[in-house]
Amino acid sequence: MGLQIIKPDTRLDFIGYRRWAFAFSALLILVGLASLFVKGGPRYGIDFAGGIIIQAKVQADHDLNIREVQDAVKSVKLPGLVVQEILDEKNEYLIRTSASDVDTEVVKEELVNAISTAFNGAGVDVRRTEMVGPKVSDDLRSKALEAMFYAVLLIAIYISGRFEQRWMAAAVMAAGLFAGITALQFLGMSMSVLIIGALAITLGLCWYLKLNYALGAVAALVHDVMITVGVFSLLDKEFDLTIIAALLTIIGYSLNDTIIVFDRIRENVKGRSGDKLKSIINLSVNQTLSRTILTSGTTLLVVFALFAFGGSAIHDFALAMLVGIGIGTYSSIFVASPILLGFGPSVPTDGEAPSKAVKA
Amino acid sequence: MNTILRWKIILTVAVVLLGFYLALPSLPGVKGTALEKILPHDAINLGLDLKGGIFLTLEVNMDKAVDTKLRRLAQELKDYAEERGVGFLNPKVLDDGTIEVNLHDTAHQDTLDNVISDNFSIMTPSVESLPNGGLRYVLTVSPDYIERFKTETMRQTVEIVRNRIDRRGVVEPDIREQEGNRIQIQLPGMEDAEQAIKVITQMGQLEFKIEASGVSVEQARQNPLEYEVAFVQDDPGAPIVLRKNPVLTGEYIADAAPQFDRNNRPYVMLELDSRGATIFEQVTAANVNKRLAIILDGRVYSAPVINERIGGGRASITGNFTVQKAKDLVTVLKDALPAPVEKAAESTIGPSLGQESIDKGINAAIIGLTLVVVFMVIYYGVAGLFANIVLVLNIILILAGLGAFGATLTLPGIAGIILTMGMAVDANVIIFERIREELRRGLTPKAAVQEGYGRATLTIMDANVTTVIAAMILYQFGTGPVRGFAVTLTLGIITSMFTAIFVSRVLFELYTQNKDSQAKISI
């Protein structure tokens, strides 16, 4: 047999650490929320905020200082004008303005002229321009939220149906969610309220219908997304469409791990119906530990390659994936499984007779 | 070798060959060689973010288009009524999209009712008495009619945008209608973005409006529903007051051509279709000695005085034109957009940037692939080698799929392929760990492999379904590049299921074929 990172007889008491894990998760989430609160919400990229971005390479013979470039474009009076350096690109900058009601061509010309004048007539190569009008950015924002909402909904329904073979309960949950969301929409709530509402309803229904696997999985994915968003806020990164794509992928991927653990729990519950749930969960997490670490590890390897060598355009996307997959692995071990225990699943719980459990 | 295994091998080889056949045209270095001739011509489409080009979203100002349509309907109603002796109707389009007319002489009520029911059956009138003894008609245009008008306007706009782009000779433009009255345009590799966008978005909306004689500028400003104040272009003289409702619009234009007058000054000759000619004749007859403003895209080009009724449907637009300007004007008029369009979003990517993205993407993919390949061999030995073989096969199948389905590869799409490389070995890791477990339980290699694949398959399916759900939602809600990501991710998951579950099992079965129960396998 080849190498082994995790010894087969490893018996770590993950459930025993759950209070620490919950405290740790709560801390991460709170720090993220605090950062969002202090900064007045997420920093939206041009997709969601609207405006104009111009990516320009200055053909100067020496290395420029970003300060100089900032000073150079100051003369162009545009609202919210920001200059950003592009990582690992010499003399290449992203210049952004929040104005979208002006002509892109005019903005481009003025900026190029200003930079050229400031650096003794240096040539400026505009490599990319992007303009997103206010209507389109509004649309993209609500579409992104909608996408997150449907992802949570479909995944919750899938897991409750697939895992507990309770498609009826899953259908009830879908109907309940639909009714709740329609009611919220009827009250004219904004999309972000709808999302929070949908999550609350999902978690509430999972709990009420005793769809515990779904409850654990959904709680874990909400956990992962919140922490990734928090980290992005802390690092002052912008949210745009590709980050939403990353978040959705994280949701899908983090469940990947969770499902492997849950699958094992289910298998072990059938095989060892006499055992206490706590030890079954612990055993299952330990048995799947090497897979969980290895699968995430290989994915993290390639995402890291993407992060380090993929270029500036994909950098933030890769960062979101790195954070999300890392947190997702942690949450499938320390968050999803303990929740399964905490809410009394449809298997023999501590001290209960097995016969009673079969019906549940 | 048993029969089932033999068939599995045949199937595997067939899929591998097909994959290579479909993927080869997309691989670098194949283009231009003799090999290219025998291959399918389905090289992967590169998205604009990789190829460079213009990505434009236009929004049709449908409110404005509907308003213009209503104003014209109101004007037509007035014309019809006047023909039958009903005058002074003062039609107005109200903010709620209804048309109001005031009838002072109630003796004409039947005539007006007949005009409405005979010629304007799309309108439903409600009538109320005015304090001065007259009647106030509020006409509601049927929503069906408005809907049809909107659909038709969108269709026409897309068509005209397409014509304008085709005339510029862009290779493979992609133009499609989107929800929210938007049109999405992708122009690959266009150098002169500025000019292209200008030509595409230029409206060419032509309107004729009649001067409101005897109305002062102040009065007009106080009553913006009925009048508007305008300046004739290139004429710094006094403003003229116009009736808000256009008497005629560009949709009745049959032809336009540049002409020269006696002094050899260029002007533009317009020819109207039969319906336009009829309207124009009525309008000129009813407004002799008033000025007729000729308005293009909101600018009054000229406002000549109507000397007499003009029949035959010919009109001329005069102004201080140069020959080139007159020609440009003709081009625009000949395919005028039926409604105003605004640029809702735009992005232009230079070709050098696109190439750089591809290079970096491939670079990152190779590094990522190497890391995974090395790790798998070190960690799993021969089994790791199998995983690597199917991983490479998986990438080829993704490329083949992208080429065969005509999907578009975008920068996030490259990220999707790279991500899939990490996720593709997931399945094999799950299987291998299971096999190791079974081996520890004392099963023979053959049995352990059977058990491992058998038990892990369902788990892998389960795990991948959630990612596919997420990818499908992304496809549904995302635009352009993000869709590309969703496509490669989904494709990658499907192909990796096949390679990691089916093909790697074939390799394993061949490997364990002749091992007896005592032998060890490298895993």
Asked if A8 lies within 8 A of B180 by C-beta distance, the reply is no
Instruction: Choose among B96, B135, B137, B98: nearest CA to B116.
Output: B137
Task: Round to whole Å and give the CA distance between B27 and B49.
Answer: 19
Q: Which amino acid is at B267?
A: Y
- What is the longest distance spanned by two Cα atoms in chain A? 86
Task: Show residues of chain A in contact with B414, CB under 8 Å.
Answer: 310, 314
User: Is A107 touching B (CB cutoff 8 A)?
Assistant: no
Task: Round to whole Å and give the CA distance between B196 and B407.
Answer: 26
Asked if B469 lies within 8 A of A309 by C-beta distance, the reply is no
User: Is A11 touching B (CB cutoff 8 A)?
Assistant: no
Tell me the mean pLDDT in the region A248-260.
86
Tell me the mean pLDDT in the region A334-338.
87
* Lowest pLDDT segment from A36-40, A133-137, A153-157, B55-59: A153-157
Residue with tokens 């048993």: B2
In this predicted model, what pLDDT tens digit does every residue of B183-228 receive, in sequence order? 999 888 776 777 777 778 877 778 889 998 888 888 888 888 888 9
Q: What is the pLDDT of residue B365?
A: 92
Q: How far is A237 from chain B (nearest CA, A)?
A: 18
* Lowest pLDDT segment from A5-9, A100-104, A281-285, B262-266: A5-9
Q: What is the pLDDT of residue A357?
A: 36
Residues of chain B with pLDDT under 70: 1, 28-37, 40-42, 191, 515-519
Q: Which two tokens stand for residue B369?
A: 């692939």
Q: Could you tell me what percentage of chain A is helix, strand and coil, using 3-state DSSP and rounding each to the nearest 5?
A: 70, 10, 25
> Is the per-residue pLDDT at A129 higher than 60?
yes
Task: Show residues of chain A in contact with B425, CB under 8 Å.
Answer: 295, 298
Asked if A305 lies within 8 A of B418 by C-beta distance, the reply is yes
CB B333, CB B297: distance < 8 Å: no
Q: How far is A101 from chain B (nearest CA, A)?
A: 10
pTM of the model: 0.81
Interface of A with B in 169-198 (CB under 8 A): none
> Is the per-residue pLDDT at A56 higher than 70?
yes
Residue with tokens 């029911």: B117
User: Is B24 touching A (CB cutoff 8 A)?
Assistant: no
Task: Show residues of chain A in contact with B469, CB under 8 Å.
Answer: 151, 154-155, 158, 252
Angle made by CA atoms B387, B392, B397, in degrees to the nearest 5: 120
Q: What is the pLDDT of residue B495?
A: 92
CB A132, CB A46: distance < 8 Å: yes
Mean confidence (pLDDT) of chain A: 83
Task: Round to whole Å and give the CA distance between B403 and B488.
Answer: 11
Task: Round to whole Å and give the CA distance between B227 and A4.
Answer: 85
Asked if B343 lies within 8 A of A133 by C-beta distance, the reply is yes
- What is the longest distance spanned by two Cα atoms in chain B? 112
Task: Round to whole Å and give the CA distance between A349 and B500.
Answer: 37
Q: What is the pLDDT of residue B171?
A: 74
Bridge partners of B174, per DSSP, are: B186
Q: How far is A73 from chain B (nearest CA, A)?
A: 21
Q: What is the pLDDT of residue B389?
A: 93
Q: What is the pLDDT of residue A359?
A: 34
Asked if A129 lies within 8 A of B383 by C-beta distance, the reply is no
> Is the per-residue pLDDT at A325 higher than 90?
yes
Q: What is the pLDDT of residue B317?
A: 82
CB B161, CB B186: distance < 8 Å: no
Q: Which amino acid is at B161?
A: V
Angle made by CA atoms A44, A313, B26, in degrees to the nearest 5: 135
Task: Show residues of chain A in contact with B380, CB under 8 Å.
Answer: 2
Task: Round to whole Å and give the CA distance between B411 and B339.
Answer: 35
Q: What is the pLDDT of residue B1?
A: 60
Bridge partners of A356, per DSSP, are: none
CB B429, CB B504: distance < 8 Å: no
User: Is A251 touching B (CB cutoff 8 A)?
Assistant: yes
For residues B484, B485, B489, B492, the Cα torsion angle rounded to the nearest 10 degrees is 50
Residue B282 carries which DSSP code?
A: H
Asked if B350 lies within 8 A of A128 by C-beta distance, the reply is yes
Task: Show residues of chain A in contact with B440, CB under 8 Å.
Answer: 8
Q: What is the pLDDT of residue A312?
A: 85
User: Is B470 touching A (CB cutoff 8 A)?
Assistant: yes
User: CA B1, B5, B9, B11 torsion: positive or negative?
Assistant: positive
Tell me the mean pLDDT in the region A77-90.
84
User: Is A12 touching B (CB cutoff 8 A)?
Assistant: no
First to last CA, chain A: 42
Q: What is the pLDDT of residue B42?
A: 66
Q: Which two tokens stand for residue B507?
A: 């390799």
A347: confidence class by pLDDT, cuts 50, 70, 90: very low
Q: How far is B520 from chain A (nearest CA, A)?
A: 8
* Lowest pLDDT segment from A149-158, A294-303, B287-296, B497-506: A149-158
Count of Cβ atoms closer than 10 Å to residue B490 Cβ: 22
Asked if A318 lies within 8 A of B384 by C-beta distance, the reply is no
CB A265, CB A280: distance < 8 Å: yes
CB A345, CB A267: distance < 8 Å: no
Q: What is the pLDDT of residue A343?
A: 64
A348: confidence class by pLDDT, cuts 50, 70, 90: very low
Asked if B364 lies within 8 A of A158 by C-beta distance, the reply is no
Q: Are strands A92-97 and A82-85 parallel, antiparallel or unpaired?
A: antiparallel
Q: What is the pLDDT of residue B518?
A: 60
User: Is B153 touching A (CB cutoff 8 A)?
Assistant: no
Task: Round to whole Å and give the CA distance between A206 and A153.
Answer: 11
Q: How far is B337 from chain A (nearest CA, A)?
A: 20
Q: What is the pLDDT of residue B397?
A: 92
Q: What is the pLDDT of residue B370?
A: 95
> Is the per-residue pLDDT at A354 higher than 60?
no
First to last CA, chain B: 22
A117-136 exposure pattern, b = at least 16 Cβ within 10 A, e = fewer: ebbeebebebbbbbbbbebb
CB A136, CB B344: distance < 8 Å: yes
User: Is B233 touching A (CB cutoff 8 A)?
Assistant: no
Asked if A2 lies within 8 A of B522 by C-beta distance, the reply is yes
Q: What is the pLDDT of residue A351?
A: 41
